[in-house]
Amino acid sequence: MLSPFLFLAAVYAHTVHKHSIEHATSTQWKRTMCGTPGSGADIITAWGQTVDPDKPVLPEYPRPQMTRDPNSTYLNLNGLWEFQLAGPTDPVPFGQTLNQTILVPFPLEACLSGAFAWPSYSKWMFYRVMFDNPFSSSTQSTLLHFGAVDWNSTVYLNGVRLGTHVGGFDGFFYDLSAGGNLKATSNELIVQVYDPSDSGYQPNGKQRISAITNPGGDTYTPSSGIWQTVWLEAVPVGYYITNLKIRADMEALYLTVETFPPTAGLAFVNVTFGGQPVTTGQGDTFSEFSLAIPNPHLWSALTPSLYDFTVTFRTPAASGYIDVDTVGSYFGMRKVGTMTNGNVTRPTLNDQPLFLAAWLDQSWWPDG
């Protein structure tokens, strides 16, 4: 089941993809070789062969469990950016054309990034892109979202530092409208990245720099830099929803609604199933509240039933409350547990025992 908000937003994403590099670069994108450098080996997938830098890359709406009305819209910034390797003391290249390109959001070491060329390699790098801001309404603020950047990133807009984020696996955002230097056209966005991979002390999983030239075993090539979607989002000026914490069991939906700025307010919830109304309710922001679901359709692998819902954030006003923001989401009702019969403990789903093979399917997509 696909939320109406999610469906419309995903379709609309294709129509608003609009950003470009203003200056020609010396090295245009081309898919680099996949395999051990110098080996002549190359691993090409059917999906990777269809990637076109002149078309939106991964244009799908990037946050399916918290969508906004497409009238608020979003702008996908994935695509061809300027790029160059750097050193720890290199100045930020404001107003300069970088010496090559990279296809965002593929990490540096991926074949589809088009930027990797062994033995040229550095733990430091710069990204640069020019974009227009389609959200010029006085009732909207513009947020810049990064799905993930590995590992330490500092972001600059039109020469002004927005902030630094440390962490390779989590999303983060900046409010571009807050600083007052966001323009209607020709905004310069620069991202400085440092990723020490396995030579640092940060969590890096099985990433190993040595795997670039000596792959094998249970280690992988690093995934440095931007590796998930970059996008702009228009939100209401003043107050807006920033996060939903969702869980459900066989009886109820449990929800926590977080906002910016953190403020007391009401969250009104409207739940539907298959387009038909199910229930409504409300609770305080930043506190978990529950909504009982009558005659629930339970989720299982055989019947993967999903409910849709909307959340409207209401703030206090002289006349009571006013609606300031609305988002859409979905959830499934299920209960995961265990059951012991004699000396055997089995996993259960919705209080029914399951046979669990427990195989590990561990794969790595060779192109990207």
Pick the CATH number of 4-236 from 3.40.1360.10, 2.60.120.260, 3.30.365.10, 3.40.50.720: 2.60.120.260
| 264-283 tens-digit pLDDT | 899 999 999 999 999 999 99
CA 186, CA 209: separation in Å to the nearest integer?
37
Q: What are the strands of the beta sheet with 336-341, ordered from one edge?
A: 336-341, 344-349, 352-353
CA 306, CA 329: separation in Å to the nearest integer?
10
- DSSP alpha helix (H) spans, the chain: 4-16, 46-49
Helix (H, G, I), strand (E, B) or coil at 242: strand
DSSP 186-209: -EEEEEEEE--GGGSSS--TTB-G
Domain ranges, ordered by start, for the chain: 4-236, 240-331
Residue 14 pLDDT: 38
Q: In 3D, which of 230, 229, 226, 62 has the Cα closest to residue 150?
A: 226
Task: Write the CATH number of the domain with boundaries 240-331.
Answer: 2.60.40.10
Mean pLDDT of the chain: 87
- pLDDT surpasses 60 at 7: no
Residue 183 pLDDT: 93
Q: In 3D, which of 68, 74, 144 has the Cα closest to residue 313?
A: 68
Which of 6-10, 161-165, 168-172, 240-244 is predicted with the least confidence, judged by mean pLDDT?
6-10
- pLDDT surpasses 90 at 156: yes
Can you tell me which residue has the tokens 């190993």?
208
pTM: predicted TM-score of the whole model, two decimal places:
0.88
CA 366, CA 111: separation in Å to the nearest integer?
8
CA 221, CA 231: separation in Å to the nearest integer?
26
- Name the more confident of 142 and 179: 142
Residue 43 pLDDT: 76
- Name the more confident of 208 and 12: 208
- pLDDT surpasses 80 at 112: yes
Residue 362 pLDDT: 67
Mean per-residue pLDDT, 316-329? 88
- pLDDT surpasses 60 at 71: no
- pLDDT surpasses 90 at 226: yes
Which of 209-213, 215-219, 257-261, 295-299 is predicted with the least confidence, judged by mean pLDDT?
215-219
Which of 66-75, 127-136, 225-234, 255-264 is predicted with the least confidence, judged by mean pLDDT?
66-75
Q: In 3D, which of 92, 95, 75 has the Cα closest to residue 135?
A: 75
Helix (H, G, I), strand (E, B) or coil at 126: strand
